[in-house]
A = this chain, B = another copy of it.
Amino acid sequence: MATDPAQSERADDTYAEFESRIERISNVGNAAGILRWDQEVVMPEEGTPARAQQLSTLSSISHELLTADETGELLEELEDADLTDEQEAVVREVRRRYDRETSVPQELVEEISETTANAHPTWKEAKENDDFETFAPTLEKLVELKREYAHHVDPDADPYAVLFAEYEPYLDLETAERVLERLRDELVPLIEEIDASDADLETDAFSGQFDDDDQEALARDVLDSLGYDWSRGRLDTAPHPFSSGTQFDARVTTRFEEDDLLGSITSTIHEFGHANYTLGLPDDGYGTPLGESRDLSVHESQSRLWENHVGRSRPFWEHFLPIARERFPELEDVSPEEAYEAANQVYDDNLIRVEADELTYHLHIVIRFEIERELISGDLEVSDVPEVWNDKYEEYLGVRPETDAEGCLQDIHWSHGSFGYFPTYSLGSVLAAQLYAAAEEELGSEAPRASEEPSGDEPRGDLSEDVREGEFDELNGWLRENVHQHGKQYTTPELIERATGEAFTADYFLEYVDEKYGELYDLE
B231 touches A50 (CB 8 A): no
Residues of B within 8 A of A43 (CB): 249
Residues of B within 8 A of A231 (CB): 44-46
Interface status of A523 (Cβ within 8 A of chain B): no
Interface string of A27-42 (1 = CB under 8 A from B): 1101110110010001
Task: Of the listed stretches A53-61, A176-184, A415-423, A441-449, name the one at the interface; the rest are far from the partner chain.
Answer: A53-61
Chain A interface, DSSP helix/strand/loop, else mixed: helix
Q: Which residue of B lies closest to A37 (CB)?
A: B38
Q: How far is the CA of A33 from the CA of B474 in the complex (A)?
A: 41
Give the size of the chain A interface in residues (CB under 8 angstroms): 40
State how many angstroms separate the Cβ of A223 from the closest Cβ of chain B: 13
Interface status of A63 (Cβ within 8 A of chain B): no
Residues of B within 8 A of A286 (CB): 49-50, 53
Interface status of A124 (Cβ within 8 A of chain B): no
Q: Which residue of B lies closest to A58 (CB)?
A: B31
Residues of B within 8 A of A28 (CB): 57-58, 61
State how many angstroms separate the Cβ of A286 from the closest Cβ of chain B: 6
Interface status of A246 (Cβ within 8 A of chain B): yes
Assuming the A-B contacts A53-B287, A61-B61, A286-B53, are A232 and B31 also in contact, with contact meaning beta carbons closer than 8 angstroms in the complex?
no
State how many angstroms separate the Cβ of A240 from the closest Cβ of chain B: 19
Interface status of A327 (Cβ within 8 A of chain B): no
Residues of B within 8 A of A34 (CB): 34-35, 38, 54
Interface status of A353 (Cβ within 8 A of chain B): no
Interface status of A428 (Cβ within 8 A of chain B): no
State how many angstroms separate the Cβ of A187 from the closest Cβ of chain B: 40
Q: How far is the CA of A437 from the CA of B122 in the complex (A)?
A: 52
Q: Which residue of B lies closest to A291 (CB)?
A: B50
Interface status of A193 (Cβ within 8 A of chain B): no
State how many angstroms separate the Cβ of A357 from the closest Cβ of chain B: 33
Q: How far is the CA of A495 from the CA of B519 in the complex (A)?
A: 79
Interface status of A248 (Cβ within 8 A of chain B): yes
Beta-carbon contacts under 8 Å, A110-137 to B = none
Given A23-B53, A28-B57, A46-B232, list of 12 further CB < 8 A pairs?
A28-B58, A30-B50, A30-B54, A31-B31, A31-B35, A31-B58, A34-B38, A45-B231, A47-B248, A50-B248, A51-B249, A53-B286
Can you report 10 A-B residue pairs in the complex whose CB atoms are below 8 A from each other? A31-B32, A31-B57, A34-B38, A42-B42, A47-B248, A50-B246, A50-B249, A50-B286, A53-B287, A61-B61
- Chain A contact residues, CB within 8 Å of chain B: 23-24, 27-28, 30-32, 34-35, 38, 42-51, 53-54, 56-58, 61, 229-234, 246-249, 251, 283, 286-287
